Every structure is written in C-alpha cells, then in structure tokens.
Structure 1
Amino acid sequence: MPFLKPALFTVMTLIVLAGPGAADPTPGGKWSWPLSPRPTVLRAFDPPDKPWLSGHRGVDLGPTSDGGPVTAPSDGVVAFAGVVVDRPVLTIDQGNGLKSSFEPVTSDLKQGDHVVKGQTVGTVQPGHCGSITCLHWGVRRDGEYVNPLGFVADLRPSVLLPLG
C-alpha cells in the first residue's frame, strides 16, 4: 500500500510487536492450561471499572468432572490452601508479582509447598457454575487482576500490515 506514510507503518508495527500480553513475563516461558484437555472458557474475564464494583475477576473453565485434576500452570509456591467464605481455594505464587488462584479446588498441599508446571495441585469441586462443574481461575499481577488467558493464549489483536 504505497499511500501509507512511514510513521503510520511504524505505529502499526509497534502495535503488533508490543500489543497486550507482549510484555507479560512468565517464569519458565508460556504457562499451561490448569485443566486437560484444553477446556472451554465458560465465562470470560470481565473486570469491574472500579475495584469495589462487581465483575468477573477471572475465567470459568470447563465443564469438568467433580474431582477432576487441576494442574499448576507454571512453577511456583503455594501461598494459600484453605476455605474462603464457603469454598475451597488454592493460590500459587509464581514470582514476579504473579499469583494464580483456583476455586473451588481441594488440595493436600500446604502454604510453602513448591509446585512445578503440570503438577497436579488439587481437584475441582462442584458449586461454582451451578449445575455444571467448572474451575474459576484468577491471576493477579502486583495485586491487580489480569486476564489469565493472556498466559496460555495470544490475546493480541490481529493487525494487517502493508506488504513491502
């Protein structure tokens, strides 16, 4: 497209190279899905406009069977394993300010236990998605919720670049 100005081409190139997710450091490379086979996203990440408003601060994955295994998406250390309000929760600290939380998940792991990518860390329990069993997966970076799918899939928008 000869009519594109060089500055516009540069901006378009930067969007592709530095789009959302491009600067997401993940220890040990790309994370893996916490369920196998690759699950369906039943409910997407939908953060609220303000921290105190309602929203969906993670993704719901499934459907899965009661007692289905949950695996660590990357290496880390168990930061919490217990009950919050009325459901079992497991939180893994992956370092670099990143923490994953899974619910409802029961686990024999304890705070301080080291886990490796792909290791079974717990089992899914019913109760989060009504009549079907699903896994809620949340990820926080420095305390702020981010889309977990950005660690297992390329979420950057497709951008057409001119040839030549």
Structure 2
Amino acid sequence: MGTQRHAGVMWAVLLGLVVTVLAPLAWAQGPPPGPSGTRARVPAVATTWPVGVRPRILRGWSPPASPYGPGHRGADLAATPGAAVRTVAAGRVSFAGRVAGRGVVSVELRGTGTPPLRTTYEPVRASVRQGDEVTAGAVIGTVEPTGSHCALPCVHWGLRRAETYLNPLLLLPPRLRNGGTSRLLPVLGVPLPS
C-alpha cells in the first residue's frame, strides 16, 4: 500500500513538473510556417510585461489559418482599470488615438529590423503622442475601464511586422515569460532517495 501511494505521489510530482515546464511553451508558440516553410523570427527584446509583473494570460495568441480567417492576433493580459501600461521595449510611438471607440497605442520597436516590429496595446488612455520616443518600461498610458473585448478587464497586446501578426509573448525572454528560473522543492512526506 505504501509503495503504491509513494508511486502515485511521484507521478503527481512528475506531472506537475511537466505542466510547469511545458505550459509556458504552449502559449509562446511562434507563428505558423510561411510559404517557404520558415517561421518569422521574433527577438526577445522585451524588458518588462505591458501590465503588472507577470499578469495572468486570459487568452493567448492563436494565429488565423488565412489572412481574414478567425483567430486571436495577440494576447489578452488581465489588468486593473487605471493601471499603468508600459512599452515592453524602446521605440517610437507610431500611433496614439482611438480606433472603433477604443484607445490604442502602437510603438515601433527600435533595433528589430526592417520593417520594425510594432507592438499595440488596447484599450489604453494614452499619455504619449505619435512621434514620441519611449524607453523600455516607459508608461504610455493607463488601462481604460471600458472597451475591452475580454470578459474581465484586460489589455490586448499585439505584435506585427508589416502586415504579419506575430506572437507578442515571444518578445519576452524566458526569465520573464516563465516567471524566473525553475527549482525543485522537496515534497513533504516523501522520503529522499538513499
């Protein structure tokens, strides 16, 4: 009986480790292969999350099968209305205004190739203007209390290179995306191997 219980606990621990390691990878998938079979490269240039320290991801990136097909062209991050929204990397504000009644801020990221990567954040009450240069982590506005397409308050964070939508979570280096370095902790009640 004790051996079966020990084996069950060990399987539970292993399953927990697999979920902990693989779950972040599931929502950090890159874009689907293009016509040539290659994937678009997204450099991990972000130094911070757009909102909070490590916000809950309410809905991840789900690329459409075709340019006009259904999908989710960004990531929805849980956010409190009025919370600061930060640019994830240095760049230039390419748009700050309203689109379909929602506040939107777009930032072209410096040093990300030609054409540059462009991040978008909505619904945001902008505190910047088109043409402003921003540093990584600079506050670009606050979360608007209405205008979100989420059931809970959120910020939709998008990423594009020209007309191609990409996964914004790939901008985050693994230490930010995965919540820091992993370490194993002892399981209470399970004897250490001899």
Q: What TM-score, normalized by structure 1, do the two folds share?
A: 0.74
Answer whether contact 2:46 2:136 (CA < 8 A) is retained. no
State the Cα deviation string for residues 20-61 of structure 1 (Å, max 9, x = none).
5995335xx444211122101100101111111221100000
Change in 2 beyond 3 A, CA 1:69/1:82: same
The answer for the alignment partner of 1:106 in structure 2 is 125
Of the candidates 138, 141, 160, which is equivalent to residue 161 of structure 2?
141
CA distance in 1, matches of 2:52, 2:98: 24
The answer for the alignment partner of 1:53 in structure 2 is 69
Of the candidates 71, 89, 100, which is equivalent to residue 86 of structure 2?
71
SS at match of 1:149: helix
Change in 2 beyond 3 A, CA 1:123/1:51: same
State the Cα deviation string for residues 108-158 of structure 1 (Å, max 9, x = none).
211100000011111111331445210000001232111011111448xxx
CA distance in 1, matches of 2:124, 2:106: 10
Q: As a proportion of its length, which structure holds more helix?
A: 2
AA aligned to 2:129 is K
RMSD value over aligned CA atoms?
Answer: 2.3
Q: As a proportion of its length, which structure holds more strand?
A: 1
CA distance in 1, matches of 2:147, 2:101: 10
Q: What TM-score, normalized by structure 2, do the two folds share?
A: 0.63
AA aligned to 1:25 is P
- What stretches of structure 1 of length at least 5 have no aligned partner? 1-18, 156-164
Query: Which one has the largest radius of gyration?
Result: 2
CA distance in 1, matches of 2:70, 2:84: 29
Of the candidates 24, 40, 46, which is equivalent to residue 42 of structure 2?
24
Is the aligned partner of 1:128 residue 2:148? yes
The answer for the alignment partner of 2:101 in structure 1 is 86
Change in 2 beyond 3 A, CA 1:84/1:142: same
The answer for the alignment partner of 2:58 in structure 1 is 42
